[in-house]
Every structure is written in C-alpha cells, then in structure tokens.
Amino acid sequence: MMKINCSIGILTIVIMATGCSHFQNRQAAYLDSVKGRATQAEVRHELGPPNATRQNEDGETIWVYELREQQSGNRFTAPGMWCEEYLLTFDDNAVFQRWRQLSYFHGGEIMPKECIPDGTTHR
C-alpha cells in the first residue's frame, strides 16, 4: 500500500510540473515570437489585460503580469506562495520590445501583497 501511495504522489507531482511548464512555455514562446513587432493591442488580445502598468526612467511602458500558485507544506517544504512576474517593455510607439520573468517564493505567507518584493531579482 505504501508503494502505491508513493507512486501516486510522484505521478501527481510530475503532472502538476508539466502543466505549469506548458503554460509558461506557451507564453514565453508567444512573447519571443513577437518581439519588435507586436503592438500593445495585440499583446493585450493574446494575454489579456496586465495586472499593472509602469513607466521606466527611459519613458518606456512596462506591463506587469502576475501568476501566483499556492504551495502546501509537507515534511520537506514550507507552505507558502510562488509568484511569477512577467515584465513586458513597450517603446514610445507602443511596440513590444522585450520581456523578463521574475520568480519569488513567499515561505509561510499565503496571501502576499506584493508578488515580487522591491529589490528582489530572483529569476
């Protein structure tokens, strides 16, 4: 019985990891394929509205997308929240130029106010 439970647990982890990576890879593939040519309207149509928008010091527009996934704890890992931010940069003509992904684990925190704390550069 213990062997069956262990096998089911491992299978569940593999399926969950595959699902998450498929979702992220689809977004990354889209973003890589439209660099330098997609407009804000086209990106919004494909990815939906951003969670936030910002301006950088060069006057470029930054769109912020967030993905959050709760991790329940077990005897090997702490409970908490995984946060992913996708930062999309558009030039002054509203054309998509580049993107960056940041990841952060909020150990022991289930509902963080900020996905990625200021000053954090984890990838």
* Per-residue model confidence as pLDDT tens digits over 50-99: 999 999 999 999 999 987 777 777 777 677 777 788 999 999 999 999 99
| Phi-psi map region of 59: left, alpha, beta (phi>0 left; psi -120 to 50 alpha) | left
The model's confidence at residue 102, banded by pLDDT at 50, 70 and 90, is confident
At residue 15, the pLDDT reads 45
64 is a domain residue: yes
55 is a domain residue: yes
23 is a domain residue: yes
pTM greater than 0.85: no
At residue 3, the pLDDT reads 57
Burial of residue 99 (number of CB atoms within 10 Å: 0-12, 13-18, 19+): buried
Residue 121 φ/ψ, nearest 5 degrees: -125, 25
Number of domains in the chain: 1
100 is a domain residue: yes
